[in-house]
Chain A
């Protein structure tokens, strides 16, 4: 099994992607609703990622 080195951002991005796909697939009733919900979850993940990243940077000084 090859070893993989990812940055924080890359790992978080992949996590957000796969989690959003699953949340989209299992949650809603129609395909268009699922797609929209999955995209919205992904956007929330990214917003939280960037927001918390800046918060930690500002908090760290």
Chain B
């Protein structure tokens, strides 16, 4: 059957979990672990710069909220995006960064920069995963 032919064995978790885990905690960390130092450095600099710019623009961190579907998507999605920055997010919150959501384009950009840093880190983690399982060079 076609479905049987399409089935491929999943790569062992031990081959990619440390890479993805480190990539989450430290942006570019998965690439460093895989000896892709140049690419890891570029990812680290980009995600770190975006996160720090978000903090300096006093962007707000999302807290998960549920309610109607739009509220849930925005707040839970935003929280997951913030959380994807890994250690940067954890350090910022542990060190007491708590910016209320304020009006103004600079704060608004800051909030978007913080979420985008996490989303870019997710892309970096996916790339590290693909390298770890041998799908990419």
Contact = CB atoms under 8 A, between A and B. Distances in A.
A11 B120 contact: no
A55 B56 CA distance: 30
B42 A25 contact: yes
A26 B126 contact: yes
The SS class assigned to the B binding surface is helix
Contact of B57 (A11, A22, A23, A29): A11
How big is chain B's contact interface, by range?
A: 20 to 34
Interface stretch (B5-13, B43-51, B61-69, B74-82): B43-51
Interface of B: 39, 42-43, 45-47, 49-50, 53, 55-58, 105-106, 109, 112-113, 116, 120, 123-124, 126-127, 136-137
